[in-house]
Amino acid sequence: MDLNFSEGEERLRAEVRAFVRARLPAGVRAKTAAGRRLTRADYLEWHRALHAQGWAAPHWPQQFGGLGWSAVEQHIFEEELAAADAPRPIPFGTRMVGPVIMAFGSPQQQGYFLPRILSGEHWWCQGYSEPGAGSDLASLKTRAVRSGTDYIVNGQKTWTTLAHYANWIFCLVRTDAQAKAQSGISFLLIDMSSPGITVRPIVTLDGAHEINEVWFQDVRVPADNLVGTENQGWTYAKFLLAHERTGVAGVAWAKRELARLKDIAARERCAGRPLIEDPLFAAKLAQLEIDLMALEITNLRMLDADRAKRAPGPEASLLKIKGSVIQQAISELLLEAVGPYGKAFAGGERPGDGLAGVVPEDAIGLAAKYCNERKISIYSGSNEIQRNIIARMILGF
Active site residues: 244
Burial of residue 278 (CB within 10 Å: 0-12, 13-18, 19+) is middle
The angle, 0 to 180 degrees and rounded to 10, between the axes of the packed helices 315-338 and 233-245 is: 50
* Separation of alpha carbons 37 and 185, rounded Å: 35
Cβ contacts of 178-184, under 8 Å, gap ≥ 24: 179/231, 181/138, 181/139, 182/138, 182/234, 183/231, 183/234, 184/231
With contact defined as beta carbons under 8 Å apart, do 351 and 209 qualify?
Answer: no
Which residues fall within 8 angstroms of residue 158, CB to CB, at 6 or more apart?
129, 130, 131, 202, 211, 212, 213, 214
Q: What is the CA radius of gyration of the chain?
A: 22
Phi, psi at residue 172, to the nearest 5°? -90, 130
Residues 6+ apart with CB under 8 A from 9: 72, 73, 76
CB 99 within 8 A of CB 243: yes
Tell me how crowded residue 177 is: count the other CB atoms within 10 A of its CB.
9
CA atoms of 16 and 377, how far apart (whole Å): 30
